[in-house]
Amino acid sequence: MDYSNLRRQAASLKKGLFDQGHLDEQFRQVEDLQDEASPNFVEEVVVVFFKDSGRLISNLEQALEKYPRDFNRWDAYMQQLKGSCSSIGASRMKNECMSFRDNCGQRSVEGCMGSLQKLKREHAILRQKLESYFQVTLEAPPCQSWCHDRWIISINLLTDVCMFTMQLLRQVGPAGAATRPAM
Amino acid sequence: MCNLYILLLADLRLYVVLQMMNGNIWSVSDPEGLRETVMLALQFQVQHVTPVSGASSDLYRLSPIPNFNGLHVLLVDGDDTNRAVTHKLLEKLGCRVFSVSSGIQCMTSFAGGESSFQLVLLDLTMHTMDGFEVALAIRKFRSNSWPPLIVALAASSDDNVRDRCQRSGINGLLQKPVTLAALGDELYRVLQHN
């Protein structure tokens, strides 16, 4: 099984999520929490998030019908949803939450309805994209995400250090040579 | 875990070898020919780097994550997602964490007697009970041990919020979403000052 190919796929899916603004830096904070003790932490949190947010959106829709023009109540639901979105880095969803709250402030029912529809769309898109991402990552054996991105920085640094060491040794020359290896 | 080996061989060929968990080996070499025999082998463990808070993802600093050595923390947050993330953040900082999802559960945890919470991390945006009320209730609660420190989590950290926090006996404040670095810094600051 070509795991490197799967990891490339996963990396590409993840990059897409960030580039298209679905996820922001806070998602990386969550990823950093994943470790040997909780190897599926990210996926677990995401599952909780979609369960919660699905419920909140559904409650909000009921409230929109049951309590017309009750902008304070609608805003309270959205404040909670915005909090969840921001803690996992669901950036586009968070923006729609903020837009909904602005519409509440302006007491615009149409504006609120419009924002809610956009929010539901972003919710569905993010869910689908993250599901694809987890499907691919779970097929490849675990390797911390930081392995791929950040060791390159360390490598460059260390290569420079080695080049410098070599230069130094060349300057020192034969007289400064260290011990011979044991035969 | 990844191991990085830098091997400077007898004829000054340089090998940088990265051995990763999945067994991949990556190497680079710079052939040089020199007479003297020098052997140098350095073993590195690739460090977990943390991003500088608020900066772009290209900037990193190698900073040790603070460890609070089993600090007993009570986390009060009504949102399941936030609570899961914050709980793990606290564990990552070496805290012993007990999480509850409401102000009521928070107070019953104190009344439970077995509690010896040194710090309460309290989300102010709960709906069941006002976060400030919870803070005041904690302050009023008489126990054998010192009253715990309280750090609040809020959507905004403007002056209004800060004022209310001070008046409610809250020792520290963090703006959400919370990062590992910010949480570590604020806990450290609050513990230092008390």
CATH of the domain at A18: 1.20.120.160
A150 part of a folded domain: no
A154 part of a folded domain: no
Residues B37 and B56 in one domain: no
The one-character DSSP state at B18 is: E
Number of separate domains in chain A: 1
**Closest-CA residue in chain A for B55?**
A25
Residues B136 and B176 in one domain: yes
pLDDT surpassing 90 at residue B194: no
pLDDT surpassing 50 at residue A164: yes
Residue that is written with structure tokens 């945006």 in the block: B125
Residues B57 and B124 in one domain: yes
pLDDT tens figures, B6-21: 666 656 565 655 555 4
B33: domain range? 2-41
Residues B31 and B107 in one domain: no
Tell me the pLDDT of chain A averaged across its residues. 85
Mean pLDDT of B49-63: 42
The torsion angles phi and psi of B20, rounded to 5 degrees, stand at -100, 165
Give Rg (Cα) of chain B.
24
A123: domain range? 8-137
Q: Which two tokens stand for residue B51?
A: 């991003």
B152, β-bridge pairs: B122, B173
Residues B79 and B144 in one domain: yes
Residues B183 and B130 in one domain: yes
A144 part of a folded domain: no
DSSP H helices, chain A, are: 3-19, 25-32, 41-66, 71-88, 91-105, 109-139, 145-172
Q: Are strands B3-8 and B14-19 parallel, antiparallel or unpaired?
A: antiparallel
Residues B29 and B55 in one domain: no
Residues B27 and B75 in one domain: no
Residues in chain B with CB shorter than 8 Å from the CB of A159 are: 16, 28
Number of separate domains in chain B: 2
pLDDT tens figures, A55-91: 999 999 999 999 999 999 999 999 999 999 999 999 9
A41 part of a folded domain: yes
pLDDT tens figures, A21-58: 999 999 999 999 999 989 999 999 999 999 999 999 99
Residues B160 and B70 in one domain: yes
**Residue A174 pLDDT:** 56
- Look at A181 and B57 and tell me if their CB atoms are within 8 Å: no
A175 part of a folded domain: no
Residues in chain A with CB shorter than 8 Å from the CB of B30 are: 163, 166
Side chain identity, residue B109: S
Residue that is written with structure tokens 């061989």 in the block: B9
- Look at B16 and A155 and tell me if their CB atoms are within 8 Å: yes
Q: How confident is the model at residue A177 (pLDDT cuts 50, 70, 90)?
A: very low
Residues B76 and B30 in one domain: no
Prediction ipTM score = 0.72
- Look at A33 and B51 and tell me if their CB atoms are within 8 Å: no
Residues B89 and B27 in one domain: no
CB B82 within 8 A of CB A79: no
The rounded distance, in Å, linking the Cα atoms of B101 and A112 is 29
Q: What is the value of pTM for the model shown?
A: 0.70
A79 part of a folded domain: yes
Out of B2, B36, B39, name the one closest to residue A174 (CB). Answer: B36
Which residues, at least 6 apart from B160, have a Cβ–Cβ distance to it below 8 Å? none
Residue with the bigger pLDDT between B56 and A108: it is: A108
Residues B30 and B58 in one domain: no
**Closest-CA residue in chain A for B54?**
A25
Q: Which two tokens stand for residue A92?
A: 């586009």
Q: How confident is the model at residue B56 (pLDDT cuts 50, 70, 90)?
A: very low
CB B177 within 8 A of CB A29: yes
- Look at A141 and B22 and tell me if their CB atoms are within 8 Å: yes
What do you get for the CA distance between the two ends of chain B, in Å? 38
